[in-house]
Amino acid sequence: MKRTQVVIVGAGPAGLLLGQLLHREGIDTLLLERRSAEYVAGRIRAGVLEPGTVNVLEHAGVATRLHAEGLVHEGVEIGFRGRRHRIDLKALTGKSVTVYGQTEVTRDLMEARAAAGMLSVYEAEDVALHDVGGNTPRVSFRHQGVVHEVACDFIAGCDGFHGISRRSIPAESLSVSERVYPFGWLGVLADTPPAWHELIYANSEQGFALASMRSPTRVRCYVQCDLTERVEQWSDERFWAEFRLRLGGEIGARVPDAPSIEKSIAPLRSFVAEPLRFGRLFLAGDAAHIVPPTGAKGLNLAVSDVFYLSEALRDSYREVPGERAERALDAYSTRALRRIWRAERFSWWMTRQLHRFPGDAFDSRLQHTELEYLFESRAAQVSMAENYVGLPL
């Protein structure tokens, strides 16, 4: 292939879904991914889908298995000082979330892309972007020892936080806002039925813990950990002992020592690079922004970004090249950033309220006060619930 309309860099949820949405608009794409298809399909990450995300996946034609296998949750719980407080998402907002792993979303999208005969190159090495600020954008890469170059109209940088797309934009053309948190999350995946019915976000004396799930027989659990710690220092026994302690109560007591299928540590970070457009290059998903995982927003934001981007590209192709087409393209960054910053605020707020921070007594008293206010005020619960289920797209 020497030319396509849109080159998509990165086969995470952002890149794969963008390809699917553009395909539905009759726009051709080439997808370039650094890793193998097996590696991409096997990565364990997020697990909670907002209703808006489910709508976009339906619109993209990839929601059949999601509806058959996804678990609909009408509430979440917050554990604090030995008690659990339920936030009734359904009663407070009329909406629910769906528990369906990112691995499953990825698999559905990969299968749809293959079925539609759209071109994907996995294990594409040395992907490089050329003339993104000019009129002849091109992407070069090496595959099985052969160097290729493809000309295109647009490039979608969906290559995650460590990708090359964001770094292809001159530093003076990007404004970066960042917050790094002084801890990480240690996550474990295990085949055992969850001892809980809904997700529990626990703020405990020992630090944060999250009890999540992937199916009626598979759990996903996290504990806040030190950034200096390595996975090898956490045997399954140590993990479960810590998790039980932090979860506490009768539910904690019912958690077995299940062997882990996967165990990893992720640092926590808030990050936004803006605007999301530089010439013919657009950034979407983790390539442009990171949220700490506490609000379950990372995957959902990747989905809303590419939904907006697919509309902007569609609208620009409907115009003759010129000012109106440019305005359609510029609309993407403005629309997406509005939602991104709201999710950044909510994820920062959830992180702030639920973790142990090195701080003084004042910070700690404020955290307690904020949580007590949340448990007692319906207004505060509505605010949390409407953000958790996701603000409208």
Q: Which of ligand DHB, ligand FAD, none sits in contact with 32, Cβ below 5 to 8 A by type?
A: ligand FAD
Q: Report in angstroms how near the CB of residue 369 gets to ligand DHB at its nearest.
A: 23
Binding region for ligand DHB (CB under 6 A) out of 43-51, 280-288, 300-308, 353-361: 43-51
Closest by Cα among 188, 185, 193 to 221: 188
Rounded to an integer, what distance in angstroms lies between the CA atom of residue 279 and that of residue 360?
46
Binding mask 298-337 for ligand FAD (x = CB under 6 A): xx--x-----------------------------------
Torsion of CA 41, 75, 212, 15, to 10 degrees: 20
Structure tokens at 20: 């699917």
Rounded to an integer, what distance in angstroms lies between the CA atom of residue 356 and that of residue 333?
35
Nearer to ligand FAD, 27 or 199 (CB): 199
Nearer to ligand FAD, 134 or 267 (CB): 267
Structure tokens at 168: 């292809």
Closest by Cα among 139, 148, 97, 147 to 295: 97
DSSP class of residue 60 equals: T
Closest by Cα among 356, 361, 368, 388 to 181: 356
How do strand 48-49 and strand 97-99 relate by DSSP bridges?
antiparallel
Q: Which of ligand DHB, ligand FAD, none sits in contact with 212, Cβ below 5 to 8 A by type?
A: ligand DHB
Rounded to an integer, what distance in angstroms lies between the CA atom of residue 363 and that of residue 6?
48
| Contact criterion met (CB below 8 Å) for 277 and 329 | yes
Q: Report in angstroms how near the CB of residue 112 gets to ligand DHB at its nearest.
A: 23
Q: Is 355 in the site for ligand DHB (CB under 6 A)?
A: no
- DSSP H helices in 31-167: 37-42, 51-59, 64-69, 89-93, 102-115
Residues in 126-165 at the binding interface with ligand FAD, rule: CB under 6 A: 127, 158-160, 163-164
Choosing from 10, 13, 47, 207, the residue that interacts with ligand DHB (CB under 6 A) is 47
Say which residues have a Cβ less than 8 Å from residue 351's Cβ, sequence separation at least 6: 181, 268, 292, 294, 295
Q: Which of ligand DHB, ligand FAD, none sits in contact with 273, Cβ below 5 to 8 A by type?
A: none
Q: Is 220 in the site for ligand DHB (CB under 6 A)?
A: yes
Nearer to ligand FAD, 40 or 374 (CB): 40
Nearer to ligand FAD, 311 or 379 (CB): 311
Choosing from 103, 212, 260, 367, the residue that interacts with ligand DHB (CB under 6 A) is 212
Rounded to an integer, what distance in angstroms lies between the CA atom of residue 393 and that of residue 247?
34
Q: Is 79 in the site for ligand DHB (CB under 6 A)?
A: no
Q: Is 48 in the site for ligand DHB (CB under 6 A)?
A: yes
Q: Is 15 in the site for ligand DHB (CB under 6 A)?
A: no
Binding region for ligand FAD (CB under 6 A) out of 32-40, 311-319, 349-357, 375-383: 32-40
Binding region for ligand FAD (CB under 6 A) out of 27-35, 59-67, 231-239, 323-331: 27-35
| Contact criterion met (CB below 8 Å) for 347 and 355 | no
Choosing from 5, 24, 35, 383, the residue that interacts with ligand FAD (CB under 6 A) is 35
Q: Which residues are catalytic?
A: 73, 201, 293, 297, 388
Choosing from 17, 30, 46, 301, the residue that interacts with ligand DHB (CB under 6 A) is 46
Q: Is 19 in the site for ligand DHB (CB under 6 A)?
A: no
Rounded to an integer, what distance in angstroms lies between the CA atom of residue 304 and that of residue 201?
25
Place of tokens 């993990």: 239
Rounded to an integer, what distance in angstroms lies between the CA atom of residue 42 and that of residue 28?
27
How do strand 83-87 and strand 76-80 relate by DSSP bridges?
antiparallel
Residues in contact with ligand DHB by CB under 6 A are 46-48, 199, 210, 212, 220, 293-294, 296
Interface residue list for ligand FAD (CB under 6 A): 9-15, 32-35, 40, 45-46, 102, 124, 127, 158-160, 163-164, 266, 285-286, 293, 296, 298-299, 302
